[in-house]
Amino acid sequence: MDIKSIGVIGAGQMGNGIAHVMALAGYDVVLNDIAQEGLDTAIARITKNMARQETRGLITAEQQADALGRIKTTLHQPEVAQTDLVIEAATENEQVKYKIFEGLLPHLQPHTILTSNTSSISITRLASRTDRPEKFMGFHFMNPVPLMQLVELIRGIATDQDTYATCLGIVEKLGKTAASAEDFPAFIVNRILIPMINEACYTLYEGVGNVASIDNAMKLGANHPMGPLELADFIGLDTCLAIMHVLHEGLADTKYRPCPLLTKYVEAGWLGRKSKRGFYDYRGEAPVPTR
């Protein structure tokens, strides 16, 4: 299928990044959010990030202008439904995603493909709440989208080959690499990554090391570019906890039990960089460990 227009639902960190790369690749993008402030912030961030790419010689000023001209914003979901492919990039909450897809259904074109940027939720289950499970799949980008080269493609039990081939073609047009994953909790990347972060939380919780020693140990001892607790703050502790719950409930294995300390941080509203406090305090000039 020849995709010309792409709808993105959710203008947050992931949604604006997806809109950014899609527009640069030549697609017409309709970016939707529930608040005008969110859309305005997204366009400002996309403009800033493209300007940085232009300064570094990664794109030309003309490419930047063309791409920004391809992005349309809207508060009305029916406008998103008129695109050839929709990428849902809302919060990692299954009920929220159900509501979004149910709102789209009456307005979709017959050929429109539905996808979700979910990092952990069952694609088969999400697809079952739509009228086109064969045209539904997981389209999971990594954060930050303009920089990260991987996209996980997850087929639900009903996803047909044409839908998969179409999404694979888009990934290739973006200049990224696809990893095909089966539809099991958290897929590939987060099935491995988030339990590692959860184990780092237990290491902190049990007093084996403090925040700085745990992160330095993994950066210098395992050559990780970021420590696991620093990375958790970057991802968002609420997102990490949500994925651990999906793993724990979906696989029914005690090794995926969320660390109580991670739960406590989320309950306190200390969600990482986005709330200025998590395993580090970001309110000063430099991040300071909170433990």
Whole-angstrom CA distances from 87 to 18, 80, 84, 90, 185 are 9, 10, 10, 9, 19
Residue 111 is among the residues annotated as catalytic for this protein: no
Instruction: Please tell me the pTM assigned to this model.
Output: 0.89
* Active-site option among 20, 32, 117, 140: 140
Give the three-class secondary structure for 226.
coil
Active-site entry in 119, 120, 122, 198: 119
Residues 152, 198, 230, 248: which is the catalytic one? 152
Clarify whether residues 135 and 208 are in a common domain: no
Answer yes or no: is 186 within a domain: no
Given the residues 122, 190, 198, 230, select the one marked as catalytic: 190
Which of 181, 201, 216 is the last residue before a domain boundary? 181
Query: How far is Cα 264 from Cα 261, in angstroms, rounded to an integer?
Result: 5
Question: Between the CA of residue 172 and those of 25, 68, 114, 291, what are the distances in Å?
Answer: 10, 21, 19, 43
- The per-residue pLDDT for 92 is 86
Q: What's 83's domain CATH number?
A: 3.40.50.720
177 with 198, same domain? no
Whether 119 is a known active-site residue: answer yes
Q: What domain range is 114 assigned to?
A: 5-181
Is omega for the bond preceding 287 within 30 degrees of 0, making it cis? Answer: no
Q: What is the CATH number of the domain that holds 230?
A: 1.10.1040.10
pLDDT digits (tens, 9 = 90+) for 9-49: 999 989 999 999 999 999 999 999 999 999 999 999 999 99
The model's pLDDT over 153-207, given as tens digits with 9 standing for 90+, comes to: 999 999 999 999 999 999 999 999 999 999 999 999 999 999 999 999 999 999 9
Cα dihedral value 196, 201, 203, 206, nearest 10: -150
- 152 a catalytic residue: yes
Residue 222 has pLDDT above 90, yes or no: yes
For the chain, the average pLDDT equals 96
- Please state, in angstroms and as integers, the Cα–Cα distance from residue 71 to each residue in 165, 269, 271, following that order: 25, 33, 30
